[in-house]
A and B are shown apart, each in its own frame.
Chain A
Amino acid sequence: MSSIIEFRNVSRWYGNVVAVNDITMDIGPGVTGLLGPNGAGKSTILHMIAGFLAPSRGTLTLDGTQPWKNPDIYRRLGLVPERDSVYAFLTGAQFVTATAKLHKLPEPSRSAAWAIGLTEMAEAQDRKIATYSKGMRQRIKVAAALVHDPEILLLDEPFNGMDPRQRLHMMDLLSRLGDEGRTILFSSHILEEVERLSGTIQVMVAGRLAASGDFRAIRRLMTSRPHVFHVRTTDDRRLAAALVGRDYTHAVELTGKGLQVRTSDFGAFCEQIAVITRDENIRLTELLPTDESLESVFGYLIAN
C-alpha cells in the first residue's frame, strides 16, 4: 500500500506539555481509524495533517508536500472539525454551496447537491443550520468537506451526536469512499466505531503511537497477553481435560454455556484446537474469540 500521509519522528508540544511524541507512521488509501482516549493527541495529529498546526519537530508530508502554511493542499483535502461551529444563519444548501464557491468549483450548486445527496441531507438542505440537530450538523459538515471530491478526508470524532441510523449511514459512506481509493482518516475514542469501520488503526496513547496497522494483526502480535475464546462442543469436559495439559493453555473454565479458554499463544491454539477435537472425537460447534474488541487491545496498550 502506497502511503499518502507520512509522519517522520513528528512531535508537537505546547509550552512544556507534549501533545504528540516522536510519531512515525504512514497512512495510505482506505479507511484508517485514529483511536485513543481524550487527550491522547488525536486532534493534534489531524490538525497537523490539515495544516492547522506546525510540527514542533520532525517532518510531515502529504504526497511529498508539507501541509503547514500551504493552503493549496485543500484542493485535495477535506476536513471535518470536531467543533460544532458552523455558519448557523445559512441553510445547509447555502453553506455547502458557499464552500464549493470557495473552492472555485465550476458548478458549485451541482457539486453541493451531489455532496448533500451523499450525506442524505437533501430533505433538510433548505433549513437554517441553526435548526439542525447535532447529528445533522455533523453530516452537513461532512457534505461541505466532500464538496470538492477530495482524495484525503480527515474527520475529527465524526460520529459525535449521531443517532444509530445516521451512524450506520456515515460508516457506510466512509467505507465506500475508502473503497473508491480515497484516504480517509477519522479519530474516535469509541472502540466500537473504529472496529466496525476500519481494519487499519493507529492507536494513540498519551501522545505516543502505541500500535499501528491491521487491528487483528496488532492484537495477535501481543502474544504476551492471554487471548480468551469461548468454545462449545459436544463434550466440553473432555476438551477441557485435553487442553489443560498444553503449554499454550493458560486457563480453562467450564461455564454453563461451554468453555472459556485463556491461551497465551493465539496461533498455536487456533491451529491445535481442530486437531485436538478431531483426535478426541469431539464435535466443535462454536469457537469465538471473546476479547477481539478494541477495548481489550486498548486496555492492554494503556496498561503497558
Chain B
Amino acid sequence: MLNLTVAGITVRATLGRRRAFLFAVPAVILIVLTLVLRASHPAAGAAWPDTVLGTFGFSVLLPLTALIIGTGVLGAEIDDGSVVHLLATPVRRADVIITKFAVAVGLTAAFAALPELIAGLLAPHSGKLAVALFAGALVGSVVYSALFVFLSVVTTRAIAFGLLYVAIWEGALSNVVGGVRILSIAHYALGVANAIDPDQNLQAGLGLSTSLILGAVITVGGLYLATRRLETFSLAGDPA
C-alpha cells in the first residue's frame, strides 16, 4: 500500500537535493535539441526525430534519469542514516518499498517520459511516434525504477552498478550481442514503442509480449527482493 507520508517526504527530499539538477538537465537538453533541429531541419521524413527521440531518449535520457532518481529515493536516506527515523515505525517494509518505487516511477515519468512526449510532439510529423515513445518510456520508467530501487537497498554503490548496467550492458553489449537484449530494459521500452508505431530505425529486437513479460518479471522480482532486504536492514554497531 502506498504511504502518503512517506511519499511526501520522498518527493521533497528527491527534488530538494542537488542531484535534482542532474535529472532535469537531460530533459531540458532533449527539448532544446528538438526545437533547434525543428528550426534547422523542418522537412517531413527527416531522420533526426528517430535519432534524437529514440536513441538519445532511450539510451541516455530515460536510463540516466531513472538511475539518479531510482537510486536516490531510498538510497540517499540509507546513506545518510535518516532512514532510521522511517524504519523505527511500524510501517510495513513492503509499503516503504512500494511507495519509494511509486515516487521513483512518477518522477522518472515526469522528467523522462513526459519530455519525450513533449519533444515528440514538437518534432515535425512525429505525432504517433511521440505517443509510442511516451508509452515505451513509461514502461521503461517502471522497470528501471524497480531495478534501481532494488540496487540502492542491496549496495551502497548503486549508482556505479547502475551506470555499468546502462553503459556496458545496454549501451555496448546489447548492440553487439543480440541475446543480451533479453535483459535490457531499454529494449523492453523500445519493444513497446515499436509495437505501437513500428519504426525501421528503432528496432528493439524484442516483441511486445516478450518486453512486457520480462519487464514485469524484473519489476516484481526487484521489488520483492528489495522488500526482503529492507526487512533485514541493519545498523552498523561499534565493534569492540
Take A54-B234, A71-B92, A87-B85 as given contacts and tell me if A39 and B13 are in contact as well, using a CB distance cutoff of 8 Å.
Answer: no
Q: Which of A183-212 contact B (CB under 8 A)?
A: 206-207
Q: Is A30 an interface residue (CB 8 A)?
A: no
Complex contact A71–B93 (CB within 8 A): yes
Residues of A near B236 (CB, < 8 A) are 14
Looking across the interface, which residue of chain A has its beta carbon closest to that of B239? A17
The answer to the question of A53 belonging to the interface, with a C-beta cut-off of 8 Å to chain B, is yes
Range of interface residues on B (Cβ < 8 Å): 20 to 34
Shortest A128–chain B CB gap in Å is 11
Residue from A47, A77, A102, A206 in contact with B91 in the complex, judged by beta carbons closer than 8 Å: A102
**Distance, CA A98 to CA B82, complexed state (A):** 13
Interchain CA distance A90-B82 in the complex, whole Å: 12
B34 to chain A, nearest CB (A): 33
Taking A74-B90, A98-B9 as contacts, is the C-beta distance between A81 and B238 under 8 angstroms? Answer: no
Contacts of B232 in A (CB 8 A): 54, 69
CB within 8 Å for A79 and B90 given contacts A53-B237, A102-B6: no
Rounded to whole angstroms, the CA-CA distance of A85 and B76 in the bound complex is: 11
Q: Cβ of A86 < 8 Å from any Cβ of B?
A: yes
Identify the closest chain B residue to A42 (Cβ): B238
Q: In the complex, are the beta carbons of B237 and A89 less than 8 A apart?
A: no
| A41 partner, pick from B9, B91, B238, beta carbons under 8 A | B238
Query: Given that A53-B234, A81-B81, A101-B5 are known contacts, is A39 also in contact with B239, CB under 8 Å in the complex?
Result: yes
Structural contact, A44 and B237, CB atoms closer than 8 A: yes
Complex interface: chain B residues within 8 A of A44 (CB): 237-239
CA distance A81 to B5 in the complex (A): 21
Q: A282 near B: Cβ within 8 Å?
A: no
| B-facing residues in A88-109 (Cβ within 8 Å) | 89-90, 95, 98-99, 101-104
**Given the contacts A41-B237, A44-B237, A98-B9, A52 and B84 also touching, CB distance less than 8 Å:** yes
- Which residue in chain A gives the minimum CB-CB distance to B15? A89
Instruction: Verify B238–A43 contact, CB threshold 8 A.
Output: yes
Q: Which A residues are CB-close (under 8 A) to B238? A: 19, 38-44
**A75 pairs with B81, CB closer than 8 A:** no
B234, A47: Cβ atoms closer than 8 Å: yes
What string of 1s and 0s marks CB contacts (under 8 Å) between B138-171 and chain A?
A: 0000000000000000000000000000000000
Q: Is the CB of B233 within 8 A of A52?
A: yes
Residues in B neighbouring A145, C-beta threshold 8 A? 88
Residues of B within 8 A of A60 (CB): none
A87-B9, A89-B16 are contacts. A12–B237 as well, Cβ < 8 Å? yes
Given contacts A103-B90, A144-B85, contact A18 B13 (CB under 8 A): no
In chain B, residues 79-100, which have Cβ atoms closer than 8 Å to a Cβ of chain A? 80-82, 84-93
Once A38-B238, A86-B82 are accepted as A-B contacts, the answer to whether A79 and B13 lie under 8 Å apart by CB is: no
Per-residue CB contact flags for chain B residues 23-39 toward chain A (1 = under 8 Å, else 0) read 00000000000000000
Which residues on B sit within 8 Å (CB–CB) of A79? Answer: 84, 88
Determine whether A72 belongs to the interface, using a CB cutoff of 8 Å to chain B: yes
- Top 4 closest A-B pairs, CB basis? A44-B237, A207-B240, A102-B89, A85-B81
- A–B complex contacts, Cβ < 8 Å, 30 sampled: A17-B239, A19-B239, A41-B238, A42-B238, A43-B238, A44-B237, A44-B239, A50-B88, A50-B235, A52-B87, A53-B234, A53-B235, A53-B237, A69-B231, A69-B232, A71-B87, A71-B90, A71-B92, A74-B89, A75-B90, A79-B88, A81-B84, A81-B235, A85-B84, A87-B9, A99-B85, A99-B89, A102-B91, A103-B90, A141-B85
A21-B240, A41-B237, A71-B87 provided; 6 other pairs, C-beta below 8 A?
Answer: A14-B236, A52-B235, A69-B231, A71-B91, A74-B89, A104-B90
